[in-house]
Amino acid sequence: MNLMHRKLCSSEKWAAAVAEVLPDWLARFELGDDVLEIGPGFGATTRVLVDAVPQLTALEIDPASNRLLQEKYGDRADIVKGSGAEMPFEDGRFSGVVCFSMLHHVPTAALQDRIFAEAFRVLRPGGTYCGVDSQLSFGFRLLHMGDTMNVLDADTLPGRLAAAGLARVRVGVERKRLEFSAVKPS
């Protein structure tokens, strides 16, 4: 992330905005008793999730963000350093998997697809995988100058999630925000 992006994502203003909208969004899904968050970054979403789900594991690849998450939430969540494309968890461990505004930081569609496949692998049968990511806009492009920005295509995402094995796929775009959900078949 560039400096401007880091400042925004680590700000209290961003955390407050997330805290305002995320609880209602989460209420739309049955995530179960053991939830994995992929790529929480600075932890604005983690701050909401630790109070919203019974058991939370956060998987973060960036060492500095991992340390920050450990300091802030290590007594309330399991903070694990690792990649969403190669998760260090056993098959079928989680009742729910979530990711928020991180998939556009994954440099290739092939790596994004690997994350989808890994989410499928670590989900229990009947478990939900859901998330949100931004769509292309002028402001979003400016925020990512010098950063990786690989925006998800809402038209191809359903097929990509289905190719990973997920079913009941739903994808929608509203106000330059892509939302998705899918279920691992029972």
Res 134: pLDDT:
85
Q: How many CB atoms lie within 10 A of CB 146?
A: 10
Hunting for tokens 């060492």 — which residue is that?
63
Residues above pLDDT 90, as percent of the chain:
77
Q: Give the confidence band of 182 by pLDDT, cuts at 50, 70, 90.
A: very high
**pLDDT interval class at 144 (50, 70, 90):** low
Q: Alpha helix locations (H) across 40-183? A: 44-52, 63-73, 109-122, 138-143, 157-163
Predicted confidence band of residue 129 (pLDDT cuts 50, 70, 90): very high
The CA-to-CA distance between both ends of the chain, in Å, stands at 38
pLDDT band for position 13 (50/70/90)?
confident
Instruction: List the beta strands (DSSP E) in the chain.
Output: 35-38, 56-60, 78-81, 94-100, 123-134, 167-174, 177-183
- For residue 55, the model assigns a pLDDT of 98
DSSP string for residues in 103-119:
GGGSS-HHHHHHHHHHH
For the chain, the domain total comes to: 1
Domain containing residue 23: 3-183
Note whether 34 and 57 are within 8 A (CB): yes
pLDDT per residue over 53-89, tens digit each?
999 999 999 999 999 999 999 999 999 999 999 999 9
The bridge status of strand 94-100 relative to strand 123-134 is parallel
> Which CATH number is 8's domain given?
3.40.50.150
